[in-house]
């Protein structure tokens, strides 16, 4: 079991890169979603008001909006998955620490739905468990 955890070890620097990449992808997905709405409204593919509150018409603007929605949704999905992976990597990193406060805080906040806040705190002030694990191993091996 310990050998499997060794293969999953990620430094804090790698966790930060993964989390920042996830945030960028998620933000890109939101921007593309807003662009899709703007394209649909600008091309009259979606018309607000009138007899019906929302009227949807076909045409090239509708296809452009649909393509933007699909690409934006995929970017947001990949960003979300990468954020979850960065949280798991941060958990594995902090598990290596002798003091389990960071691990407990990351786990509890993540399970309570505040994982983004936990990851921002970890990125800003969290310790690197791989460095401390290396320090514990190296004196014994000399």
Distant-in-sequence, close-in-space partners of 35: CB < 8 Å, separation ≥ 6: 68, 72
**Tens-digit pLDDT profile for residues 25-47:** 999 999 999 999 888 888 877 77
* Across 10-24, 29-43, 54-68, 80-94, least confident range: 54-68
Each domain of the chain, given as residue ranges in start order, spans: 10-129
10 Å Cβ neighbour count for 139? Answer: 7
- Percent of the chain, pLDDT > 70? 81
Please, what is the average pLDDT of the chain?
85
pTM of the model: 0.78
């Amino acid at each position: 079991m310990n050998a499997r955890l060794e293969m999953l070890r990620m430094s804090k620097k790698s966790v930060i890169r993964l989390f920042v990449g996830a945030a960028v992808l998620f933000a890109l997905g939101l921007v593309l979603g807003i662009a899709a709405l703007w394209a649909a409204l600008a091309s009259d593919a979606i018309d607000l008001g009138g007899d019906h509150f929302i009227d949807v018409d076909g045409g090239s603007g509708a296809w452009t909006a649909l393509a933007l929605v699909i690409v934006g949704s995929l970017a947001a999905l990949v960003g979300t998955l990468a954020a979850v992976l960065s949280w798991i990597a941060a958990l594995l990193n902090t598990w290596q620490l002798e003091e389990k406060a960071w691990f407990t805080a990351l786990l509890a906040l993540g399970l309570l739905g505040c994982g983004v806040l936990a990851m921002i705190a970890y990125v800003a002030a969290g310790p690197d468990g791989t460095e401390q694990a290396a320090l514990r191993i190296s004196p014994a091996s000399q």
